[in-house]
Structure formats: structure tokens, C-alpha cells
Structure 1
Amino acid sequence: MNIPDIMEKGGIAMWPLLLLSILALSTIIERSFFWIRFLSKEKQITKIILKTASYDWDAILKTSQNHSKHPICNFLYTPLKLKDPDPEVFHLALESSADDELALMRQGDKLLEGVIALSPLLGLLGTVLGLIGSLGNIQISDLGTSSTRGVTLGIGEALISTAAGLIIAITSLTFYRIFQSLWFNKVRVFIKISSELDLIYQQHWLKINSSDSKNLNENYNE
């Protein structure tokens, strides 16, 4: 059977299932490209950011701007643009920015969750409606006669919607779990970067304050 035949024999429930399949497929494609771009440059950008921060803290903001399309640099930009903040303020800015970026990285999850929940139910609904239509005209006297062959065929066609709903739900669930696994791994990456950058900034902040204190003492003595 080709797609038009499947749509016709599957019943009215096939149309919302078709819509859900299109939404799920577009989300899967978009999220797949996002994660491919993310993973392809993640280690390189992380290494550049932390290396730059260790040797020249003032240059790290420009480095993050040069890779502004990457989620890691977007996450770091908000705290880095602050002008010599207190370490506690810097830490809070890191946490807030990480929460915002991680939330953006979960775009499409709610849609996939909806598809996973609705697809089997719509498929089952299509099957029930098909069974009602197939069994509605049968009479007890027709049992065991050739007139029931059409009922058997109708039941087989009614199950098409259930199969379609399960296929859509299983496919969506597979990619949903993959994206969830990638997201949880990136949470650990963000925590690691935040901890290392927080430590580097504390050393930078202490150096700045010790220099300022030294200059104040020299000016006072003069």
C-alpha cells in the first residue's frame, strides 16, 4: 500500500496522526542539527575559553563574542560582561545564565512529549472507530457466513491507525531519550566550566584587589 491508501484505509484518525508526525519530524531534524553543531565545537571552544581565562582574563569577553553562536559562549557572556564584580555576584550570574541557556537547549522537548502521549491514543481511537464501523452492520445470523469476510478485512484496516500511532510514538520517544541524554551530559559540562571559571575569576579578583590596595598604600605614604 502507498501513503494515500494507508491514509484512506486508516480512517479519520490518520489526519491528526499525519500532523503529529510532521511536527515530530521537524523537531527531530532541528534538534539533531543543533546537537551536531554543539558537539562538533564543544571541546575546542571550552579549551579556548578556559585557556584564555587563565592567561588573560580581560581577553575572555572578546573570545566569547567571537563564538557567540555557541551555547557555551552565550552562557558565559552574561557574567563576563560585568565589570569586575564581587566573586559571589559573578558566581550567581554564572548560575543564572547557565539555567537560562540550559532551558533554551530543551526547546522541542514539550512538543515531543505531546506527540509521544497523543499518538498511541489517536491510533487507538481510529481503531475503535473502525471497529464500530465494521461491526455495526453485522448481525448474529451472519456469523459463519461469507458476509463476515468484509468484517475481517475492516478490522485489519482499522488496526492501521494503531500501528501508525505506535510507530510515531516509538520514533519520537527514541529521539526524545537521545536528546535528554545529551542534555544531561551538557549539564555536567556547564557545571565543570562554571567551577573552573569561578576559581580562575576568584584568583583574578584577588589580584586586582591586592594591586589596588598596594597602590592606595603607596599613595597614602606619599
Structure 2
Amino acid sequence: MTKGGVAMWPLLILSVLALSTIIERSIFWIRFLLKEGKILNRVLETAARNWDAAPKVAKEHSKHPIGNFLYGPLRLDNPDPEVFHLALESSADDELALMRRGDKVLEAVIALSPLLGLLGTVLGLITSLGNIQISDLGTSSTTGVTLGIGEALISTATGLIVAIISLTFYRIFQSLWSNQVRVFRKAGSELEVIYRQRWSDSEGNPSAFSGNTPSKFTETFEQ
């Protein structure tokens, strides 16, 4: 820290922010992916068999992003299919936005770390070269200047290391998020198909929104 100069302190702060964000997001994604499939299958299977029980099942998992996403439209009382579709989109947008928490911190660290490292090096070079006199050139007096230049490069190396590590995890989290966009879209489409089919049947059978779903819905979903 001493050899790197004043730029090392803001780099230390940025590295702590990046590390804490990486740990928090890693824990979030591990827990999310371990439970996602089970929750998604349970809610969709319940909706296909017994629509009235689906909101209760989704509410039980509302603390999980995928459960809260599905609970958003399911809690509505027999909405129009278009309203149901809008509720799905709104719920998906909210949950996907929350899942990107921490991205801004990593983006800031990635952008600022190399610049701060470069600034530390420039300041170190200014100090080292400012101590050189013309009469000292070619003598042993310039040995300290060489060491000073080497120490000045420490901040640049530190800034690059912090930025590279942060960028690596940022790309991993972005990839996981992009995959979830596809999962949310597919899950929302399946739930909407089930609802629209039931809505269509309810026009000729008002009791279609209560009790068990006809077996053809279950067969279609399982296929």
C-alpha cells in the first residue's frame, strides 16, 4: 500500500466493494438456481391440474423470484386474458430488474480501477522524474529513480487485477441473468396458455375456473 502511492487507497475501497458484491451475488445465484426448477414445476403442474390451488402454491414461494413472478398474475381474480398477459410482463420486469442488483457497482469498479491505477502510476512517475537532475544522469544517483518508477507501476497492476476479476464475475452474472430471461419467458408463456385455454372453456362452461382441470390440459402440459 505504501509503495503503490495514494491511488492504492481508493483501489482498496473499490476492491472491497467488488468482493462484497461478488460474494452476495454468488450466494444469491446458487440459492436461486437450486430451487428454481422445483418451484417452477410445482406451480405449473398445480395450475394445469387445479387452477384454484395455483395461487396458494405460488404464494408459498413468493420469496423466491420465480415464485413471486408467477404469483403476480395468479393472484388476480379471473382477469381478462390481456390483463393476465400484462400482469405477467409487469411481474417479470420487476423480478428481472431486482435480479440485476449489484451490476452498477461492478460496472463502476471495472471502469474506475484501471483509471485510478494509471493515475497512481503517473503521480509516481512525476515524483520520481522530478528528483532527477541533469548532472545525475549516468551516475548511481539515478538508481533510486529506477526503483521509484517500478513502485509507481504497482498501482496500475493493482487496478488491472481488480478490474479483470470484477469483469469476469460481471460477465458470469450477466450470462446467468440472460438465461433467466428465457426461463421467465417460457414459464410465462406456459402459464398463459393454460389460462387462455381455461378462459376459452369458461365461455361455454362457467365452472371451468373452479375444481379440477379436464385431463386434456394436464396431458398437454406434460407433453
Q: TM-score higher than 0.5 here?
A: yes
Q: Is 2:17 aligned against 1:32?
A: no
Percent identity over paired residues: 75
- The equivalent position to 1:182 in structure 2, one of 176, 179, 183, is 176
The answer as to 2:134 corresponding to 1:160 is: no
Counterparts of residues 1-222 of structure 1 (less than 5 Å): 7-212=1-206
User: Where does residue 3 of structure 1 map in the other structure?
Assistant: none
Shift of 1:209: 2.9
* Cα distance in 2, alignment partners of residues 42 and 77 from structure 1: 14
User: Residue deviations 1:43-94, cap 9 Å, x none?
Assistant: 1111111111100111111111111221001111221110000011100110
- Runs of 4+ that moved beyond 4 A: none
Distance 1:57 1:212 in 2: 14
For these two proteins, the number of residue pairs brought into alignment is 208
Which amino acid counterpart does residue 148 of structure 1 have in structure 2?
T
In 2: Cα distance, 1:212 partner to 1:137 partner: 90
Equivalent-residue separation in structure 2 for 1:158 and 1:14 (angstroms): 11
Deviations 1:4-35 (A, max 9, x none): xxx11100000000000010001000000000
- CA drift at 1:207: 2.8
User: Following the alignment from structure 2 to structure 1, what is the Cα–Cα distance between the partners of residues 206 and 183?
Assistant: 34
**Partner Cα separation in structure 1 for residue 200 and residue 207 of structure 2:** 10
Instruction: Give the TM-score normalised by the residue count of structure 1.
Output: 0.91
Q: Give the root-mean-square deviation of aligned CA atoms.
A: 1.3
Gap regions ≥5 residues in structure 1: 1-6, 215-222
Question: What is the TM-score with the length of structure 2 in the denominator?
Answer: 0.91
